[in-house]
Amino acid sequence: RTKQSMADHEILVEEWGGEVPLVPVSALKKTGLKELLDTIKVQAEVPVQFALGYELRISNRVSADLQVGILTEPNTSIILSTLQALGTDEVVVLMIENAFQSGVVLEGGLKYNFRKYYAGVFVQQLLLTGKDTPYDLVEAAMGVDLSSYPSQTGRTRSNETTLTLESNLVQLGAVFGRRFSFKNERAEIDLELGISKNIYSTSSISSEVRNYETLSIAVNEYLASIYTKYAYVPSLTVAFSYRIGK
């Protein structure tokens, strides 16, 4: 009955071919709770970053920080959904989704601290490492016939199925966070919400079989316009901090 009522309002659950997850839960029987938590976790997915950083207190109110980290699955469902919702073609979203596996993050920022809270701005560089990108997705996204490109010197013409796509993104963002102190005054947990927008990017596409130099230039220009328009990256950060100075 619940599924039908939702369908009457044009809300389709996954079981009926829609995108809305529906998890049966019974408080009396204590069933479905684990599945509900798993579903909430998937729907709340954000980029996962493991980082090491250093924060320098410039004054009682102002601090600067630098950090380096590893970003796993940089194009997670929430980012890809944002790209598509803002107007990015579905084929391009699929190409980006299949292109990147992980990335290195370099970040620097300034924060203004008040009581247990802080707000700030940051510049972030995402070096996205490529993995095999499906041949047909590149052709569909760029509207080209890849078999027409010349072979690399010394390489025979062979049927390749994947290419290597790489991107280097520079993001400008803002954060708001709260510090939670322990009994040990040197240690604290920082909970931080952030949002960043792409301001610059370079991309390239390559192959061991064919020379895609001219295509790489076109891909760079095309993805640069996509990233600049649509690459808004939300983030949720939980960090453990330990003060080493006085």
Q: What is the pLDDT of residue 6?
A: 55
42 pLDDT band, cuts 50/70/90, is very low
pLDDT in tens, 101-142: 677 889 999 999 998 999 999 999 988 776 677 777 788 878
- Whether pLDDT at 67 is above 60: yes
Q: What is the pLDDT of residue 39?
A: 42
| The token pair that represents 101 in the structure block | 């596996």
Q: Are 237 and 192 in contact (CB under 8 A)?
A: yes
Nearest-CA neighbor of 100 among 139, 71, 123? 71
Residue 138, C-beta contacts closer than 8 angstroms, at least 6 positions apart: 95, 144, 146, 163, 165, 205
Least confident of 47-51, 110-114, 191-195, 238-242: 47-51
**Residue 105 to residue 48: CA distance in whole angstroms:** 11
Q: Are 128 and 169 in contact (CB under 8 A)?
A: yes
Hey, what amino acid is at 137? Answer: L
**Residue 77 to residue 50: CA distance in whole angstroms:** 19
Burial of 130 by CB count in 10 Å (0-12 exposed, 13-18 middle, 19+ buried)? buried
Residue 245, CB half-sphere, CA atoms under 13 Å: how many?
Answer: 5
Q: What is the pLDDT of residue 197?
A: 92
206 pLDDT band, cuts 50/70/90, is confident
Q: In terms of DSSP H, where are the helices of the chain?
A: 2-8, 33-43, 77-85, 90-99, 135-142, 213-230
pTM: 0.70
Hey, what amino acid is at 223? Answer: L
State the DSSP code for 8: H
Residue 101, CB half-sphere, CA atoms under 13 Å: how many?
Answer: 6
